[in-house]
Amino acid sequence: MSMKVILVDDERLVRESTAQWFTICGFEVSSYSDPLKALAELSEDFDGAIVSDVLMPQIDGLEFMQRVHQKSADIPVILLTGHGDVDMATRAMKLGAYDFIEKPYLPERLSERLSRACDKHRLLRENNKLHQHLASLQGIEATLIGISAPMQRLRAQIMRLANLDTSIVIYGETGTGKELVAQCLHEYSERQKNNFVPINCSAIPENLIESELFGHEAGAFSGANQRRIGKFEYADGGTLFLDEIETMPMFVQVKILRALQDELIERLGSNKQHKVKLRVVAASKEALRDHASFRQDLYYRLNVSEIHIPPLRERVEDAPLLFDHYQRIVTADHNLSPRVLSSEDISALLQYSWPGNVRELKNIAVRFTLDNEQNIADLLQGGSQQGGEALDKTANGEALSVNTQNTAQPLAEQVANFEAQLIKNALARHNGSIKELMQELDLPRRTINEKMARYAINRGDYVSKS
Ligand SMILES: Nc1ncnc2c1ncn2[C@@H]1O[C@H](COP(=O)(O)OP(=O)(O)OP(=O)(O)O)[C@@H](O)[C@H]1O
Ligand SMILES: [Mg+2]
């Protein structure tokens, strides 16, 4: 990826030698003796940086910079000032110069600053693109965020299932969004006119669970002073969300099964039956099939459709967008401006294994936004809600670890790591099928082969052995 630079200096010798140096350093240089000409040819979409002399006959460097910023405020401008001109340097920074460098300067110093400026501009542009992307999202895309192929498939699946009557079980690790998916299933169906009623099966004491679900009449048991409507009745015409269903006691499982089959419930202490018609969406962290403490007849009644939400580490390409999403919410709530992520921050997001999934990422995003001092690697090392668990396994058993040392990896290396990770994730999802990989990544076979060779990725490692 070449970095573009526009160089403006009216002194021919200086201009030519500087341009030559930049070319040696790998920049793509356009040089101008006249700042007005540079301005005329400058596009708003320019994605590099500008280096300009201050003293020039047509307009001075400060004026030039301000006109550049009228085109795009994000373009970094480095000004070359006379030696010891402190006033000028101060003014330059106040007016929005990215940096100023005193003449005569060390070429290495200038090229190093320039490459940082280009990097920063690129990140800003990517960040703006993310913002625009987020702002343009609507409907379920704005609720269930993610650009990865599994998230796109998940949203499509939800929209297909929303208006059916079948029961659904949602499987996924903690914090992957099971409840959010259940809400979407409700929201995008005709049932949204009625209630979405969540109930966490593991949070209710065993002796109260029946009355929670089915309600009771006054005097049904000691302490039952008033008649109470149960969750099933509240959810009539809507959606009942049975969270952590794997923890439901067996004796209640029988009753739920009966209520669903007959579409009738009986409040405790009453022998009158009430008709209820609702959709059940259940969530489980464990497989329910052949589960020792889960009735298989209820399993078959509930598990008509299944939704699997992959853990965040298998779709880590969603992390930056989710992070930006939560930054937007926090900044709006607290009237702050968002912090721009450095490339180290982004690579920390992409390399972490996220054992607490989206919930953990959300916590990190909130803390990052509210605390200007800490970068993402610091926050991850400090431990988010998962007690700082830094290592976890990916689907194919590969250990991912946090980039905790804040080493500034060169950009090209970070991009390569990210790309390699994307390919590995996609291979794991498709059981090593190159054909499906080509479709998902929309790349020709030759490019995929080249990249896999370059990153030493072995397809065989992703073909499931079972
Ligand atoms: N794709 C997503 N887009 C936006 N927010 C998400 C996404 N996935 C999860 N979240 C958010 O992450 C948090 C955790 O999600 P949720 O409570 O649905 O997870 P869960 O799977 O039910 O977790 P648990 O098993 O621990 O109950 C919520 O604040 C939810 O809004
Ligand atoms: Mg939940």
Least confident of 110-114, 332-336, 375-379: 332-336
pLDDT at 74 over 90: yes
Q: Whose CA is nearest to atom 13 of ligand 1?
A: 359
Ligand 1 atom closest to 146 (CA) = 1
Q: What is the mean pLDDT of residues 438-465?
A: 84
Q: Kindly give the distance from the C-alpha atom of residue 283 to the centroid of ligand 1, in angstroms, as a whole number.
A: 12
- Ligand 2 centroid from CA 216, angstroms: 27
Res. 306: pLDDT tops 90:
yes
Ligand 1 neighbourhood includes 358 CB (under 6 angstroms) = yes
CA distance 194 to 83: 73
Ligand 1 lined by 180 (C-beta under 6 Å): yes
Cβ of residue 244 lying under 6 Å from some atom of ligand 1: no
CA dist., res. 100 & res. 423, Å (int): 41
- State residue 465's pLDDT score: 59
- Ligand nearest to the backbone CA of 358: 1
178 pocket-lining for ligand 1 (C-beta < 6 Å): yes
Distance 175 CA to ligand 2 centre (A): 7
What's the confidence (pLDDT) of residue 386? 42
Please state, in angstroms and rounded to a whole number, the distance separating the CA atoms of residues 219 and 226.
7
Which residue in 232, 278, 275, 234 sits closest to 255, CA to CA? 232
Do the strands 215-216 and 228-229 form a parallel or antiparallel pair, or are they unpaired? antiparallel
151-195 pLDDT, tens per residue?
999 999 999 999 998 999 999 999 999 999 999 999 999 999 999
- pLDDT at 401 (0 to 100): 34
Nearest ligand to the C-alpha atom of residue 365: 1
48 lines ligand 1 (CB under 6 A): no
**DSSP per residue over 70-115, as a string?**
HH-TT--EEEEE-TT-HHHHHHHHHTT-SEEEESS--HHHHHHHHH
- Of residues 464 and 265, the one with the higher pLDDT is 265
Ligand 1 pocket, 175 CB below 6 A? Answer: yes
Domains of the chain: 3-135 (3.40.50.2300), 143-308 (3.40.50.300), 312-462 (1.10.8.60)
**Gap between the Cα atoms of 100 and 80, Å rounded:** 6
- Residue 172 C-alpha from the chain's centroid: 17
Ligand 1 close to Cβ of residue 184 (< 6 A):
no
pLDDT for residue 110 is more than 90: yes
Q: How far apart are CA 91 and CA 54, in angstroms?
A: 12
Q: pLDDT above 90 covers what percent of the chain? A: 64
418 or 435, higher pLDDT:
435
What's residue 411's pLDDT?
62
Please give the backbone phi and psi of residue 283, each rounded to the nearest 5 degrees, phi first. Answer: -130, 145
The residue-averaged pLDDT of 205-211 equals 89
Question: How far is the C-alpha of 416 from the C-alpha of 411, rounded, in Å?
Answer: 9
Is the pTM higher than 0.75? no
Cα 243 to middle of ligand 2, angstroms: 6
Ligand approaching nearest to the C-alpha of 155: 1
Pocket test for ligand 1, best of 152, 309, 358 (most atoms within 8 A of CB): 358
Q: What is the pLDDT of residue 402?
A: 35
pLDDT tier for residue 437 given thresholds of 50, 70 and 90 = confident
Lowest mean pLDDT, pick from 31-40, 93-102, 337-346: 337-346
Whether 397 has a pLDDT exceeding 50, the answer reads no
Q: Calculate mean pLDDT across residues 54-74.
A: 94
Q: For 406-431, what is each residue's pLDDT tens digit?
A: 345 556 666 777 778 788 888 888 88
pLDDT over 70 for what percent of the chain?
Answer: 92
Side-by-side strand order, sheet with 77-81: 27-32, 3-8, 49-53, 77-81, 99-102
Residue 281 has pLDDT above 50, yes or no: yes
CA–CA gap between residue 378 and residue 386 (Å, rounded): 15
